[in-house]
Amino acid sequence: MGFDSAHLIALPELVLALGAILLLVVGAFLGKRSMAVVSGGSVIVLLFAAIAAGLGAKGVAFNGAFIADDASVFSKVAIYIASAVAIFLGERWLTRIGNAKFEYPVLVVLAALGMGMMVSAGDLISLYIGIELQSLALYVLCAFQRDDAKASESALKYFVLGALSSGLLLYGSSLIYGFAGSTHFADIAAAASHGSVSAGVIFGLVFLICGLAFKVSAAPFHMWTPDVYEGAPTPVAAFLAAAPKLAAMVLFARVLAQGFAHAIPEWSQVVTAVALISVTVGALGGLVQKNIKRLLAYSSIANIGYALLGLASGSQQGMQAMLMFMVLYMIDVTGFFACLLALYRKGEPMETLPSLAGLVRVRPGIAIALTILSLSVLGLPPLSGFWAKFYVFRAAVSTPGMGWQAVYGLVFSVAAAFYYLRMIKTMWFDEPIGETDVPPADARIVALGAAAFAFPLVMIGLAFLDPLTAAAAKAFGLA
């Protein structure tokens, strides 16, 4: 195992790890003035890693612990770009509020490294280490405003519940290891294919699914999400809602498809149940929320439900639907949070629904962006959210025995539409309640960019994303 094989396959991770350490040293030596340098460096490191992932070698390295295939490459490029956007938004925001510490970009790079390890995991140990690396960095990022009581509360809740979910995950992993005799996904699949899958493995698998459901904030393991989104600094929440969810979903898909390909009926029913509960909780919980960040948290719970519905179909088409859904959702949710970053009134963030009243007459640009993004997430054709749901429901309908689940999901997506429509009504038809501050350029660019992608750029984007997600879905090796 010389440099040329294993290290080339893991080149994006090497770039990120060495880059993060280098930037840490640069930041430590430059001190207070280092934020701009380290942030710029981090964005460059992430873009290099994305290029290395896109052009790099594919294969299996480190005795099967690390897998680079179409699925990992696709998700890594998306994750690294989303992380770079998070650094861009966060750097400006932290500088504005006077908390420009260079650790922020370094931690985002390390979180991106953890996510890259998650989507490339081929072994239960690398799965766990990837999740821990990502989660630890995110806990710290949530508490980054350490003098803010809400941020500390959110970080503490996230940390304690995250530790609990790691415990569930490890317990499941130890059961799987005990009954299957290996931690490699391929070996677990081989052990499970001899005759029927043993009850011990299924038992462990259910725990593993519970642990992963925590990480993607699927109901009934969602209780941390609203509090964390509300308390975390807004750029961190934007990061939290996008890239880690994609990484955890791809990891979810990889464990189930590559480790338990012979137990599809067994895991499919668990995932379907989690998906339907998420859709319900997300739609109903969002109805009573006044805080937009909490609303987005419930929206993300519902949307993870749709992505899990694609996963539950257990087919290649379902995996493609999941990947497509997650990428389109990531862009929408980043745009949403960028809008929140752009909306300040007298130096205070406008985070409640009533504060948006009559926004279209005060800030037409941001209001129109928010409207387009809301319509997209509720699934109005031909916006990007419609296509995301279209892929999922197409996969669900074409899977035998999943017809009523698809109908159930559709019904609750209509119920969830209410809270997006209420937001639009507040912005367009209520009386304005006062001027807002001039939105910062960075947040405005990201918000308008995401809205422009939601429509009309999505039509061009789909032409590229469709073959890419199809190739990525094939890598999971399902029929």
Contact footprint for other proteins (CB under 8 A): 1, 10, 17, 21, 24, 61-63, 65-66, 101, 103, 106-107, 110, 113, 117, 125-126, 129-130, 132-133, 136-137, 139-140, 143-144, 146
Between residues 21 and 411, which has the closer beta carbon with respect to other proteins?
Answer: 21
Structure tokens at 132: 């821990």
Interatomic CA distance for residues 296 and 241, integer angstroms: 9
Between residues 103 and 227, which has the closer beta carbon with respect to other proteins?
Answer: 103
Between residues 16 and 246, which has the closer beta carbon with respect to other proteins?
Answer: 16
Between residues 125 and 190, which has the closer beta carbon with respect to other proteins?
Answer: 125
Angle at 82 between CA 444 and CA 117, to 5 degrees: 165
Between residues 63 and 193, which has the closer beta carbon with respect to other proteins?
Answer: 63
Q: How far is the CB of 368 from other proteins (least distance, A)?
A: 38
Between residues 62 and 344, which has the closer beta carbon with respect to other proteins?
Answer: 62
Interatomic CA distance for residues 90 and 93, integer angstroms: 5
Could you tell me which residues come within 8 angstroms of residue 77 by beta carbon, excluding any fewer than 6 positions away?
Answer: 50, 53, 54
> Where are the extended beta strands (E) located within 306-347?
344-345
Distances (CA, A) of 264 to 184, 258, 270, 479: 18, 11, 10, 11
Phi/psi for 403 (5° steps) reads -60, -50
Q: What is the 3-state secondary structure (H, E, C) of 28-43?
A: HHHHHHHHHHHHHHHH
The C-alpha R_g of the chain, in whole angstroms, comes to 21
Q: How far is the CB of 404 from other proteins (least distance, A)?
A: 43
Q: How far is the CB of 116 from other proteins (least distance, A)?
A: 11
Interatomic CA distance for residues 145 and 162, integer angstroms: 20
Identify whether the C-beta of residue 305 lies closer than 8 Å to the C-beta of residue 409. Answer: yes
Q: How far is the CB of 133 from other proteins (least distance, A)?
A: 5
Q: How far is the CB of 89 from other proteins (least distance, A)?
A: 19
Angle at 388 between CA 382 and CA 392, to 5 degrees: 125
Q: Whose structure tokens read 């922020």?
A: 104
Q: How far is the CB of 18 from other proteins (least distance, A)?
A: 11
Between residues 183 and 315, which has the closer beta carbon with respect to other proteins?
Answer: 183
The closest of 69, 56, 185, 64 to 474, measured between CA atoms, is 69
Q: How far is the CB of 10 from other proteins (least distance, A)?
A: 8
Between residues 130 and 314, which has the closer beta carbon with respect to other proteins?
Answer: 130
Q: How far is the CB of 161 from other proteins (least distance, A)?
A: 17
Could you tell me which residues come within 8 angstroms of residue 265 by beta carbon, excluding any fewer than 6 positions away?
Answer: none
Q: How far is the CB of 178 from other proteins (least distance, A)?
A: 10
Between residues 117 and 377, which has the closer beta carbon with respect to other proteins?
Answer: 117
